[in-house]
Amino acid sequence: MVFSGLSFVLALTDLRVLSLRPPSLRRQTEPRLYRSLGPKQAWFFWGLDLGLGWTTIRATSLYWIFLLWAILLVEPVAVPVGFAAYGLGLSLSVFGSQIGASSTAHACHCRSTRFLQLAPVLAKCAGITTASVAGIFLLGQIAGR
């Protein structure tokens, strides 16, 4: 019940209920890495930074819900597999956003701008979905007592 309750509260932050925001540091990955180290090393360090999960802005609370799941509900042996699946999902979303991108900087910028314009809608959809699932689990656990 602790997991479902905390997940529900976190999902409410995704919906900005009472002006709450998902817990995260308000910083981006360091852009100077690209200029100082070059693209190959920069991508590696950006991946490490993003992979930590808590060091950059989180648009939704899914990372924290996943972390609660790993701590509260599963055997320790399963946690690396779960984190690998979570990381794969993040990687696929990044690669998927680049499919069909043109090689020109202008086309990439336009595509990125359109995606950013959709971000609030996508965050609300994620929040509604997460709150619904967590709420159903919470109600089920309360009713099962």
Assigned domain for 33 exists: no
3, pLDDT greater than 50: yes
Query: Which residues constitute the domain of residue 117?
Result: 2-23+58-143
pTM exceeds 0.85 for this model? no
Does residue 125 carry a pLDDT above 60? Answer: yes
Q: What is the DSSP string of 95-115?
A: HHHHTT--SSHHHHHHHHHHH
pLDDT value at 101 more than 70? no
Mean pLDDT, range 26-38, rounded to an integer: 80
Mean pLDDT taken over the chain: 74
Q: How far is CA 118 from the centre of its chain?
A: 15
Give the pLDDT score at 114. 66
| Token output for 28 | 């981006």
Mean pLDDT of 20-42: 79
96 has pLDDT over 50: yes
Rounded to an integer, what distance in angstroms lies between the CA atom of residue 124 and that of residue 47? Answer: 26
Residue 80 falls inside a structural domain: yes
Instruction: Judge whether 42 lies within some domain.
Output: no
Q: Is residue 77 part of a domain?
A: yes
Q: Is residue 71 part of a domain?
A: yes
User: Is residue 102 scored above 50 in pLDDT?
Assistant: no
Structural domains in the chain (count): 1
